[in-house]
Each structure stands twice: as structure tokens, then as C-alpha cells.
Amino acid sequence: MDTLIVSLLNGVIYGLLLFMVSAGLTLVFGMMGVLNFAHASFYMLGAYFAYALQGTLGFWGAVVVSPLLVGLIGVIVERFVLRRVHRYGHGHELLLTFGLSIIIAELVKLCFGNFPVNYRVPASLDFAAFAVGNSDYPFYRVLMGAVAIAMFVLIFLLLTRTRVGIVVRSAIYKPRMAEALGHNVPAVFMGVFGVGAALAGLAGAVAGAFYTTNPNMAIDLGVVVFVVVVVGGLGSLSGAMLASLLIGVVTSLAVGVDASLADLLGLIGARAWAERIGGLFTLKLSSLAATIPFALMLVVLLVRPGGLLGEKA
Amino acid sequence: MSTCRLSCLVIGAALCVATGLTFAAPVKIGLVETLSGPQASTGLLFRTAVRYGVDRMNAAGGWNGEPVQLLEYDNQGGPTGAADKLKTAIADGVQVIVQGASSAVGGQLTEDVRKYDMRNPGKEVLYVNVGAEAMELTGEKCQFYHFRFTGNAQVRVKALVLGMKQSNALGTRVYSINQNYSWGQDMESAIVEDASLGGYQVVDKTLHDVNKIQDFAPYVAKIAAANVDTVLTGNWSNDLLLLMKATRAAGLKDRFGTVFLDQPGNLGTAGDIALGHFVVHAFNPEAGGAEGERFVADYKAKSGHIPVFIEPQTAFGMAMVAEALKQVKPEHGALSVTALAHALETTRINTPLGEMSMRGADHQALLPMVVSTVARDAKFKADDTDMGFKPVKVFSASDAATPVQANCKMQRPD
Amino acid sequence: MRGRGGLGALGTVGVALLLALPWILSQGLLNASIQMLIAALFACAYNLLAGQAGMLSFGHAAYFGVGAFATVHAMNAFGGSGLLPTPLMPLAGALAGLIFGAIAGWFATQRTGAYFAMITLAIAELLHALAPHFKGLFGGEGGVSSTRMPSMGVTFGSTTQMYYLVLAWVLASLLALYLYTLTPLGRLTLGLRENSHRLRFLGYDVHKLSVLVFSISAMFSGIAGSLQVINNEAANYIVFDAGQSTAVVLNTYIGGARVFLGPAFGAALMTFFGYAVSDLTQSWLLYQGILFALVMMFAPSGLAGLFGMPDRLRRRFGTAAVVPFFALALASIVLLTAGTVFLVELLQRILSQDYRALAAGAPPWPPISLFGRQWSPAAAVTWLLPAAGVACGAATMLLARHKLALLEGRQEDTAAEPRAIEGERTPA
């Protein structure tokens, strides 16, 4: 029972981390129609900037300033790089963001080296929040979850209750009409891209201390974030939240399940037969834990391609 | 032409032919390594160590009066790139291939070298393996022109288990968690096999996806539920760091026995979490005595940092190659790789930790192993932290060795 | 017709050059040429789907890999004789690619656009994640290895023999792909890209058509995969990696998706770039990324599209007018490249851990050796040189663009004048 509770908690917090990174991505897709391959690179940049700044500004200062820097980089990228390619179509923008992700990863390796860097949770935050069973639950994890939830609530309120949010939503939905009404739509696009990048940077600054900060961060997280965005629905914030939680919890729980298809067939008495065949039948679910998100993505794409909460394709 | 000049010419030519110095071909060593891309960090360390080894060879006079040339090839991270660069290296005249960073690349190289040597008798190349530790390279895939100068899973686990047992850190309940590929599977089998040797019981074992898991908390939950004293793992890089961090976050007091804790960046990122954990490696600067300190100082002067992680074993491997080269005389002005291979089988060198030799049956080097623990009072600190690796026990080459694998059927060119 | 004849002549010269390559190149470069040919075939097969049918697939490495593994198992099973002698091995890859492509394509083509791309990505990633678990099929980390058996009197032991085998298959496949574009099915493929709604209205089953095109593209990708396996005598599940899928997309778009041989050219160029530059510098991935980004931004129809430009400009403005523009453009590219490369290499050495350890004390910092000379990081010239290169290159580029604008402006003026002269006999 304890392991179940711990697994659920871990899954939820991991899901919330995924949400922090994918929120910006899904917003940008909804707005520009292009899936930004470089989004996970912004996550990595956030972690590295926070590491570089924590010496001079302290942990909290670094966590505040680093997303601002990343947001600025996002604005520059959108204004000078992506806008130029906008007229050639979505395919080109996608490929350009892919090129950008390579450039950012290589620049990070150039400046900070190939090995993981020494970015750690500060001692003041490194204690146990509560105990579950015979193991502790670290406070920093709870903090990460709190930051993610606060982010969700803030963005949701911003988009639905404020004037800026209405302008942004109209620019996403009907850009020409919004432009005709006198709003500066290109500036809105730039702003949303910057905010999306800043969100990813914040996620990096917060999570990089808990997990590791190394040049392969973007690649490691990038694919799972893609899956989250697709499963949740491209463009839908609540979809991203739902999908991240789903994937986080499922991945977490699957690790504890050592059953395989052979065990399932054992229910109808065919276990020995399945075990003799081997291969797919004796693969344990726990060792497949990292594969499940992709299977989920495939199923969702085939059954409901708009995602769980997205629009119909 | 006068008879005097003609006879001088003839005598001169005869002398040249007699001494075999007509066309002295320098020995070319080719490093086919992962020098870029996600896994480049380890590959670059191998390059530093191999450069150090070759520089020492040339400082001692090279071979046959010529300096040994080192050519470097980037295998772009995978076995396909390695296969291509191998062909390029052979076309450039390389006779000795050195590689270490990946067992997948090692598997590809050893097979390609074997096939090339089979198809081109008389123009063989040699594969010097300084880091790929998959068992099959000296097992199922063992071949005469492959030499491994590092440990393997069985050697590592045996030393680790005995070293931890001696420090009373092993306990009786052990959890094995490894990556789900050849290296991790080799580690798991070795951990299970050595249960009686170490006097422990493997309570549970897990194999997880390689480099795909960000959140190890579910695995830590399993470890906590198993209620063990020690966790033995062959994980490296992110998989090891995240596992250790997650264990600490959960407040578990289990001791970790690892193989790759000394990878640069690990102690810095892990911080205090790492204190008290164990690692088995081929060298510890503190355990080498005066000879060891000299080696460390020399290495630091040439490269800018003390030899860590895979660098010492690579340097020792290159020293063995250098020693074997000294015993090989040129044939028609060039190096005979077969002769070099024969010489390598009987080479012995003295490392700061003890004697190192090569086993002819499977071409696995017999080298000393050190088990160390992470402590604040270690003499050499790592990663700009206040912690370092303090040696606990040194195993001589014969103590650390494990038997030849049954499925190694080496065909010798005699 | 004249254009066709010209192209035909060019093609013949090209093929003759390729046939004569083993006599011209060293063995190392010949091996690189084999890789370039394989990459070119893969890119052209991919372009059938992406450039001609308009379906951007992000997981095409799956079909390349399936072809590769099918071939390696066939090599082990047949041993170079019997039903599939060594020269005919790529047929195994073709068959496997076709079947798997049909299955995957049936699912993937049910959606379009970004969703189609995501499905193909998901299939490839799923395969990549599952492959390590199926040791028997995919061989675990060391992969599955095999040996090229002699067949039909040829040993296939040397690089030259392999080169001719690969060349034969690649040329045959490219010819097949080209002939495909001339058939009605090829035209329908273009219709898929232009307007699939209208195709549906014309009565065609668009889904079946898409699956057919997908399968054909996967078949040729399988042939490319099997050629690589025959060359390397081993297949490893790393071939399913997302990096391989993205590499073929990169190659295709750098070369130009609208020209038939554009992807082949792009693939050959990028493969050679990786081969040549990876041994020269550690930062070659950065250069590749920058090159890709620049091509995407400034030459969106790819490098093949750039080839027509000099001729077009020459015919429009006359050679004398255009030569200074090209000289300036070339000079600016050279200066910018030199300056950037110098700066990147310098930074890479200064910021490396080893140098930072060596320079840990107070200045004077040790000099860095680059391009055969020693540069001191504290000296101004070390930084001014690349800065000057980049600045001059940028200035020259601006000058070149200004010149082009002048040319185009002058063209418009001269076009306006004759009419005025004809219209008014006597100027007012």
C-alpha cells in the first residue's frame, strides 16, 4: 500500500514537471502551428543559466533571472530567425527549429563542457517533507509540484480572465481579424513564444537541480514532452496537464509491476505455452516502463488524433 | 661509373638490405573513438589517455628509430560510423586500432577486424580494446587480433564484492539494479554468481531502460520495499546519478557499490549523497605509492588534470603495447602485426599498483583492481569538491582475475 | 528539348565519372563514396514521400532499419548462395521494407499533416525502444553480424567490388524512382501533395493511394538499409534512432525537395561533410547545425535550387554585370566562414576543461595552437582577426545585396524607358 502511495505521488510530481515543460510547447503550437523542436533546448538553457548564475545571485535569484534570460532568447529567436521562414510553410519552420536545437546543444557543450555540471538543490531546501512507510518524501519534489500547479493556475487565469489573454487567444484563433481590429499580432506571437520559452526555462532551473544538468537533457526530455503534447491535444493547456499526469502516473506505476503477458495468459492456463514462446510474451512490464508513453501516443493518434482534450482533426 | 663507386654502391645496398632499413615504415596507431555527439565525454577522455601513451612511446624513442604516429578518427557515436572509419584508417596505413568508449562499437570493430584479417593475410591489423567491457569480447567473440586491457563485468564484481565485504559494508541482503543491455546483463549475472563468494543473498534484481529514465523514484520505492543493506549497480552517467539522488531523496541509508562512480562530474553533481559509497576501478592515485604519484604528476603536467575514470587503465594498456613493440623487430622495414600480437601475449609491465600481464587464452589482461570509498579525507579531491576516493583494498592481478569463459574458442594463426 | 538533351549529356558524364571513381580515389574516400551513395538513395526514397507526396515523415529510419535487419538475417540464412546470392541480397531488404511500410503506412496515412508526422515518429520510437528487448531479432547492443559470402565468382572482399555493387543498385533504384515520376501513379503522387481533396472528388481512393506511395518509399529505404548492411556486415538497433530519421530529413531539405536529384545531392554533401570534417574538429556538429539553419533561412528551396540562380541572373543581366556580384558574394561567404570557424575553434579550446585547468593561475595564460600557429588569448590580434573576418564578410554581403538590388532596379528602369521613347517622339 505504501509503495502504491509513493508511486502515485512520484508519478504525479513527475507529471507536473512534464507539464511545466510542455505547457509552453502546446501554446506555441496552438499559435504558430509549428512544433518547436528547440523547446526542450530552452529547458536545458534554463538549467544551465541557473547553474551559472547561482554563484552570484544565490539559488532563488538564479531561479528568477534564468527564465527571464531564456524568454529573451526565445523572443530573439522568434523575431529574427523563425519569422523569416514563416512564409515557407510549417515544414520549414519545424526543420529550422530542429537545426536550432542542434546549435543550442553544441553551444552548451562548447561553453560548459561535456560532463554534468554541479547544479544542486541548496542545503536549505534539502530536507524531508513527510514520511511514507519507511522512506522519506523530499520537500523539493513537493516544491516542484507546487511551482507547476501555480504555473498552470496563473496561465489559465491569464488566458481566460485578463485582457491580454483575450487578445492572445483571439490572435491564436483568428489572427487576421485580430490584426484588422488593430492589435499588433506579430508582437503577440513574439510575446507568446517568449513566454513559452520562459516557462520551459523555469522548469529547467527548478528541475535541473533535482535531476542532473548535462548537455543531453534536451534529448532525454524532448521526446517525452512531444508525446505529452500530442496525447493531450496540440494547443490545449488543460490537455497538456491531463496528459502529463496520465503519463507520469502510468510510467511510475508500471515500474512496480513485474507482470508480463505470460502472467496474463496464466489466468487462462496458457502460461507455460507463453513462456516457451518467449520474446514478447515474457517481457516484463517494468522493463518496458519507458516505452509505454510511445505506445500510448500511437493509440491516441489512431483513435483520437486531436488528443484527449484537443480539437477534432 | 668507376668500379670503386659501383662496388661502394653495391656494398651500401647490401648493408641496407641486410639491416632491413631500406624503407622504414613508421607504426601508425589509429584511435577510432566517439569524439562528438551525446556520448563524446568519455571518448574524449580516452583520446587524452591514448595521446599520453603515444607521447611516452615517442619520448622513449618510438619504434625502429621512427616516432609512432597517432591518427584520430571520430566514429560519430555509433558502430556504423566506426566501421567506416576503420576502413578509412586501414586505407591510411594504420596497423593498430585503439578504442574504448562503447561495447557496441567494440563488438563491431572486433568483428570487422577479424574479417579483414581473414581476407587479407599478411596485412593484418590489431584491435587494442582499452574500455569496452562486455563479456562477449573475450568470450563468444574472442579472436587472436583483439586484446582487452581493461576489466570486465566479472572481474569488477568480484573485486567490488570482496572489497566491500572486507570493510564490513556489504551486508547480507543485496539489491541488483542494472541497465538493460549487454553490460548491465553481464553485471547482473556476475552479481548473482558471486553471492556465495560475498556471503550475501540477492533479494531482488531489476533491469531498466538505458538512459531513458528521468525519475528513478519508482525503482527506489522497490528498493525500499526490499529492505536491503547494499545496492550493487553497473549504471553509469545519468542512470547512476539519478538513482543515487532518488535514493537519498527517499532517505534510504543503503550503501552503493558501483563501477563508474568516478566518472568526472558525478561527485560534483551528487554532492554529499555520494559519501560512503564504493567504487571498483583500475587505479587510485592514493594507492600507488611514490610510483603512482610520479605517474599522476606526469599525467597532470601533460593533460591538465589527474588521471581519472578510464584514463589510468588506458595509459597502462598503451604502456603494455609500448613494451611489446620494443620486443618486435621490423620485418622488411615494417611492423608485423602478428609478431606484435605474439609479443603482447607474453608482455608484463609494472604499474604503480602491481604487475599487469596478458592472458593468452582469451586475450583478457590481468590487471590489479582497487576498491575505494568516497570520503572527505581522500588525498586527491574530485570535481572541485571536498570529497575524493579513498582506497580501501588493492587486489593484485592474480587475485582479481576470473576464469576464462567457456565459449571462447580462439583460432590462432600458427 | 534542348534542356532535356543537356540534362541527358550531364547524366551520362555523371555516370561515367561514378564508374571511374575507384581509379581516381583512395580506398578511404571510396568507402566514403559508398556511404554517400547509400545516403543519396535513402534521401531520394524519402523525398518520394515528403517532397512529391507532401507527407512529412519523421520516422523513416524505421524502414531503413527493417530492411537492414531483414538483410542481415537473410545473409546468415542463405550464406550467399541459393535463392538469394550476395548481389541480390537487397531484394530481402526491399521486401521487408515494402511489407512493413504497407502495415505502418496503413495506420499512418489515416491522418494528415502534423498528425501524420507524429504517428510516423511514434512508430519509429516504439521500434527503437522495443528493439533492445528482442535479442533474437535485433541482437542486443552488439547487433547482429554476418559475413559477405563470395558469389557468382566475385569475392566481394574488397572495397572496389562493394562500390560497384552499391553503385549498380543505387543507379537502378534511382532510375526506377525517376521512371516512377513519369508514370500516371507518379503524377497522382504529386496530386496528393497539391490537392488531395480534389483527387477524392475525381474518384481516387486517397487512402489506398497514400499507402501505396508510402510502401514504395519504404521499399527503396529498405534497399538502402540492406546496402549499408552488406557493406558493414552488421546491423545494430542504433539504426532506429531518431537521429537517423532526422538526418535524412535534413539531407533532403538541404539538397532541395523540389528537384529530383536534389536530395541525393544534399545527402552526398552532408555525408561527405560529416566524414571529412568530423576528423578535423570536435565542433563539426555545430557547423552542420549552422549550415542547416542558414540553408533553411536563406535558401529555402535547398542548395539544388541555388544552382539555377547564376545561370538565370546571367541571362537576365548579362555576364559583365553579374560577375562583380558573384565575386562579392563568394568573398563574403569565404570571409564569414573563416571568421566563424576561427572564433568557434578558439572558443572551444579556451573554454575546455583542460585549458581552464592549465590556465588556472594568473596571466600570462598559455598560448593556444591553432592552424599551425600559436595564439595568445590575451593578445588583441587573436580576437580582432576573426572579428575583422566576420565584419568584413558581413559588409561584403551587404555590398553584394546592394549590387543585386541596383541591377534589378536598373533592369526595371531600362524596361520602362523604351516605351516612353516610342510613345513620345519629341521629349517635352
Which pLDDT tens digit goes with each residue over A176-191?
A: 888 899 988 888 888 8
| 3-class SS letters over chain A | CHHHHHHHHHHHHHHHHHHHHHHHHHHHHHHHCCCCCCHHHHHHHHHHHHHHHHHHHHHHHHHHHHHHHHHHHHHHHHHHHHHHHHHHCHHHHHHHHHHHHHHHHHHHHHHHCCCCECCCCCHHHCCEEEEECCEEEEHHHHHHHHHHHHHHHHHHHHHHHCHHHHHHHHHHHCHHHHHHCCCCHHHHHHHHHHHHHHHHHHHHHHHHHHCCECCCHHHHHHHHHHHHHHHHCCCCHHHHHHHHHHHHHHHHHHHCCCCEHHHHHHCCCCHHHHHHHCHHHHCECHHHCCCHHHHHHHHHHHHCCCCCCCCCC
What is residue B21's predicted lDDT score, i.e. its pLDDT?
A: 45
Long-range Cβ contacts of B379-385 (<8 Å, 24+ apart): B379/B285, B379/B286, B380/B285, B380/B286, B380/B296, B380/B306, B382/B262, B382/B264, B382/B267, B382/B268, B382/B308, B383/A118, B383/B264, B383/B265, B383/B266, B383/B267, B383/B268, B384/A118, B384/B268, B385/A118, B385/B267, B385/B268, B385/B271
- Burial class of B353 by CB neighbour count within 10 A (0 to 12, 13 to 18, 19+): buried
CA gap B346, B366 in Å, rounded? 12
Please say if the pLDDT value at position C402 is more than 90.
no
Residues 155-184 of C with CB under 8 A from B: 155, 157, 159
- Does C155 lie in the same domain as C24? yes
**Domain contains C247:** yes
Percent of chain B with pLDDT over 90: 45
Query: For residues C114 and C167, which has the higher predicted lDDT (pLDDT)?
Result: C167
Q: Contact at 8 Å (CB) between B54 and B67?
A: no
C-alpha cell at position B302: 601533460
Topology of domain B28-151+288-366, CATH = Rossmann fold (3.40.50)
| Confidence tier at A279 by pLDDT (50, 70, 90) | low
Please say if the pLDDT value at position B43 is more than 60.
yes
Closest among A195, A18, A218, A198 to A108, alpha carbons compared = A218
What is residue C105's predicted lDDT score, i.e. its pLDDT?
A: 93
What is residue B392's predicted lDDT score, i.e. its pLDDT?
A: 92
What is residue A263's predicted lDDT score, i.e. its pLDDT?
A: 73
| Confidence tier at A201 by pLDDT (50, 70, 90) | very high
CB of C228 less than 8 A from some CB of B:
yes
- Chain-centroid distance, C-alpha B283: 11
Same fold, B28-151+288-366 and B154-281+368-400: yes
**Pairing mode of beta strands B126-129, B146-148:** parallel
Segment (H or E) for B247:
helix B237-249
| Average confidence score pLDDT of chain A | 84
| Confidence tier at C428 by pLDDT (50, 70, 90) | very low
Domain end residue (candidates: C264, C281, C298): C281
**Domain contains C298:** no
Residue A16, beta-bridge partner list: none
What is residue C422's predicted lDDT score, i.e. its pLDDT?
A: 41
Q: Contact at 8 Å (CB) between C124 and C242?
A: yes
CB of A33 less than 8 A from some CB of C:
yes
Question: Among the residues of C183-318, which ranges form H helices?
Answer: 184-194, 196-201, 206-232, 242-255, 262-278, 284-298, 302-317
CA gap C68, C61 in Å, rounded? 10
Please say if the pLDDT value at position C415 is more than 70.
no
Please say if the pLDDT value at position A30 is more than 80.
no
**Sign of the CA dihedral B198, B201, B205, B211?**
negative
Instruction: Give B380's contacts (C-beta < 8 A, 6+ positions apart).
Output: B285, B286, B296, B306, B388, B389
C-alpha cell at position B6: 659501383
Strands of the B369-375 sheet, one edge to the other: B201-208, B173-179, B230-233, B255-258, B278-281, B369-375, B388-395
> Looking at residues C115-130, what average pLDDT do you find?
86
What digits encode the pLDDT tens for the residues C229-249? 999 888 888 889 888 888 898
**Pairing mode of beta strands B201-208, B173-179:** parallel
What digits encode the pLDDT tens for the residues C149-178? 887 777 777 888 889 999 999 999 999 999
Q: Torsion angle of alpha carbons A24, A26, A28, A30, nearest 10°? A: -150
Residue with cell 580582432: C384
Closest among B129, B91, B103 to B187, alpha carbons compared = B103
**Domain contains C324:** yes
> Looking at residues C361-382, what average pLDDT do you find?
76
The three-point CA angle C139-C142-C143 to 5° equals 40
Phi, psi of A129 (to 5 degrees): -80, -50
CA gap C180, A111 in Å, rounded? 49
Residues 275-294 of A with CB under 8 A from B: 286-287, 289-291
Query: For residues C410 and C144, which has the higher predicted lDDT (pLDDT)?
Result: C144
Task: Count CB-CB contacts under 10 A for residue B26.
Answer: 16
**Domain contains A284:** no
What is residue C164's predicted lDDT score, i.e. its pLDDT?
A: 92
Mutation site for B-interface testing, chosen from A10, A54, A294 by largest number of B Cβ within 10 Å: A10
Rg of chain A, C-alpha, whole Å: 21
Number of domains in chain A: 1
What digits encode the pLDDT tens for the residues C8-31? 787 888 888 888 888 888 888 888
Number of domains in chain C: 2
Closest among B243, B51, A224 to C129, alpha carbons compared = A224
Residue with cell 537487397: C90
Question: Which of A175-189, B311-325, C25-39, C341-355 is most confident?
Answer: B311-325
What is residue B1's predicted lDDT score, i.e. its pLDDT?
A: 46
> Looking at residues C62-68, what average pLDDT do you find?
95
What is residue C116's predicted lDDT score, i.e. its pLDDT?
A: 87
The minimal CB distance from A290 to the residues C50, C129, C134 is found for C129
Please say if the pLDDT value at position A72 is more than 90.
yes
Phi, psi of A301 (to 5 degrees): -65, -35
CATH of the domain at A20: 1.10.3470
Please say if the pLDDT value at position A21 is more than 60.
yes
Please say if the pLDDT value at position B9 is more than 70.
no
| Confidence tier at B40 by pLDDT (50, 70, 90) | confident
What digits encode the pLDDT tens for the residues B223-271? 888 888 999 999 988 888 888 888 887 878 888 999 999 988 888 878 7
Segment (H or E) for B45:
helix B40-59
Query: For residues C414 and B333, which has the higher predicted lDDT (pLDDT)?
Result: B333
Residue with cell 624513442: B61
Out of 3.40.50.800, 3.40.980.10, 3.40.50.2300, 3.40.630.30, the CATH code matching B154-281+368-400 is: 3.40.50.2300
List % helix, strand, coil for chain B (3-state, nearest 5). Answer: 45, 20, 35
The minimal CB distance from A294 to the residues C126, C246, C296 is found for C126
> Looking at residues B219-226, what average pLDDT do you find?
85
CA gap B36, B177 in Å, rounded? 29
> Looking at residues B311-319, what average pLDDT do you find?
94
- Burial class of A3 by CB neighbour count within 10 A (0 to 12, 13 to 18, 19+): middle
CA gap A106, C283 in Å, rounded? 7
CATH of the domain at C173: 1.10.3470
A to C CB pairs, distance under 8 Å: 108
CB of A313 less than 8 A from some CB of C:
yes
| Confidence tier at A11 by pLDDT (50, 70, 90) | confident
**Sign of the CA dihedral C348, C353, C358, C362?**
positive
C-alpha cell at position B213: 529514465
Assessment of whether the complete model's pTM goes beyond 0.90: no
Say yes or no for a CB contact (<8 Å) between A119 and B269: yes
Please say if the pLDDT value at position C277 is more than 70.
yes
> Looking at residues C308-337, what average pLDDT do you find?
83
- Does C372 lie in the same domain as C326? yes
> Looking at residues B311-316, what average pLDDT do you find?
94
Mutation site for C-interface testing, chosen from B28, B90, B111 by largest number of C Cβ within 10 Å: B111
**Sign of the CA dihedral A70, A75, A80, A84?**
positive
Q: Give, rounded to a whole angstrom, the gap between the first and last alpha carbons of chain B.
A: 48
CA gap A53, C39 in Å, rounded? 44
C-alpha cell at position C351: 573554454
CA gap C137, A279 in Å, rounded? 9
- Does C328 lie in the same domain as C257? no
Half-sphere exposure of A141 (CA within 13 A, CB side): 23
What digits encode the pLDDT tens for the residues A219-278? 878 888 888 888 888 778 888 899 999 998 988 888 777 667 667 777 777 777 777 766
CB of A107 less than 8 A from some CB of B:
no
**Domain contains C289:** no
Residues 188-217 of A with CB under 8 A from B: 210-216
| Confidence tier at B3 by pLDDT (50, 70, 90) | low
Say yes or no for a CB contact (<8 Å) between C293 and A302: no
CB of B302 less than 8 A from some CB of C:
no
What is residue B393's predicted lDDT score, i.e. its pLDDT?
A: 92
Query: For residues B312 and C403, which has the higher predicted lDDT (pLDDT)?
Result: B312
DSSP for C201-212 reads HTT--HHHHHHH
Q: Provide the domain limits for residue C351.
A: 318-412
**Domain contains C67:** yes
Please say if the pLDDT value at position A142 is more than 80.
yes
Q: Find, in chain C, the residue whose alpha carbon is nearest to that of A83.
A: C297
| Confidence tier at C424 by pLDDT (50, 70, 90) | very low
| Confidence tier at B412 by pLDDT (50, 70, 90) | confident
Q: Find, in chain A, the residue whose alpha carbon is nearest to that of C347.
A: A110
**Domain contains A81:** yes
Segment (H or E) for B346:
none
Distance from CA of C27 to the nearest CA of B (A): 6
C-alpha cell at position C248: 535524412
CA gap A27, A240 in Å, rounded? 10
Q: Find, in chain A, the residue whose alpha carbon is nearest to that of C249.
A: A95
CA gap B17, A270 in Å, rounded? 77
What is residue A49's predicted lDDT score, i.e. its pLDDT?
A: 94
Q: Identify all chain C residues contacting B188, using CB atoms and an 8 Å cutoff.
A: none
Please say if the pLDDT value at position A93 is more than 90.
no
CA gap B362, B102 in Å, rounded? 20
CA gap A238, A249 in Å, rounded? 17
Half-sphere exposure of B228 (CA within 13 A, CB side): 26
What is residue C425's predicted lDDT score, i.e. its pLDDT?
A: 47
CA gap B403, C363 in Å, rounded? 54
Q: Identify all chain C residues contacting A103, using CB atoms and an 8 Å cutoff.
A: 286, 289-290, 293
What digits encode the pLDDT tens for the residues A158-181? 888 888 888 888 887 788 888 899
What digits encode the pLDDT tens for the residues B120-169? 888 999 999 999 888 888 998 899 999 999 999 999 999 999 999 998 88
Distance from CA of B281 to the nearest CA of A (A): 19
In eight-state DSSP terms, residue B381 is B
Q: Provide the domain limits for residue A62.
A: 2-257
Residue-range domain boundaries for chain B: 28-151+288-366, 154-281+368-400
Q: Find, in chain C, the residue whose alpha carbon is nearest to that of B211.
A: C129
Q: Contact at 8 Å (CB) between C213 and C192?
A: yes
Phi, psi of B264 (to 5 degrees): -55, 140
Q: Contact at 8 Å (CB) between B178 and B223?
A: no
| Average confidence score pLDDT of chain B | 87
Please say if the pLDDT value at position C139 is more than 70.
yes
Task: Count CB-CB contacts under 10 A for residue C13.
Answer: 10
CA gap A54, A204 in Å, rounded? 14
